[in-house]
Amino acid sequence: MKAPERDKRKGLLACYTGDGKGKSTAAFGSILRAIGYGWKVCVIQFMKGSWKYGEMEGFKQLRPKVEFHRKGLGFYKIIDDKLPEEDHKKAAAEAIQFSAEKITSGEFDLVILDELNVSIQTGLISIEDAVELLKKKPDWQHLIITGRGAPEEIIEMCDLVTEMKEIKHPYQNGILAQKGFDY
C-alpha cells in the first residue's frame, strides 16, 4: 500500500555516525514513527556481530510493515570474525545489489542501511558503489545510513548528519553489554 502523501513528500537522506553508541538505535527509533503513519520500512544490515540481537526479534513483531534483512556476515576483522575476506566482500556486494532492489522497488517509504559506513570504511564496499546506491533513492523516500566513520562524500550528500559522541560508557567501569538495552 502506498502512503498517500508520497507525491508531496521531500524524502531525506540522513546519516547517524560518530564514535558514540546509539547510531542504529536512533535509526530504528524512526521506524516507530514511520509505521505510525502507515509507512512501509526496510532495514538492511550490512555488518553486525554474529550473535542474536533483540531488534531482530522485535522486527519480526512489526511485520508486515517492517522488513529486516541481515546481509553481512557479522563483524569484519574484529571480535568473533574468522571468515575469509573474500566471503565478506561477496556478502557486501550482494548487500549493495539487494539494497538497490529494495530502494528502487517503490514499496518502501523508509529504508535503513545499517552499518553501511563501516562497510565503506573497512573497504568491503567502495565509496563509488555506495554513492551510486544512494543516488537511486526516489525523491519521496527517506533513507537513513548508520555507522561510525562516515566518509566526507556521504556527509556531503546527506540532508541530515548527526554525530554521536561518546562521553561516558559502562564498559569503562567493566560493565559488559546488557541484553535488552545494548543488544
pTM equals 0.90
The tens place of each residue's pLDDT in the chain, 183 residues long, gives: 455 588 889 999 999 999 999 999 999 999 999 999 999 999 999 987 566 778 888 999 999 999 999 997 777 766 676 778 788 899 999 999 999 999 999 999 999 999 999 999 999 999 999 999 999 999 999 999 999 999 999 999 999 999 999 999 887 888 888 877 777
| 3-class SS string, the chain | CCCCCHHHCCCCEEEEECCCCCHHHHHHHHHHHHHHCCCCEEEEECCCCCCCCHHHHHHHHCCCCEEEEECCCCCCCCCCCCCCHHHHHHHHHHHHHHHHHHHHCCCCCEEEEECHHHHHHCCCCCHHHHHHHHHCCCCCCEEEEECCCCCHHHHHHCCEEEECCCCCCHHHHCCCCCCCCCC
Q: Which structural domains are found in the chain, ordered by start?
A: 12-165 (3.40.50.300)
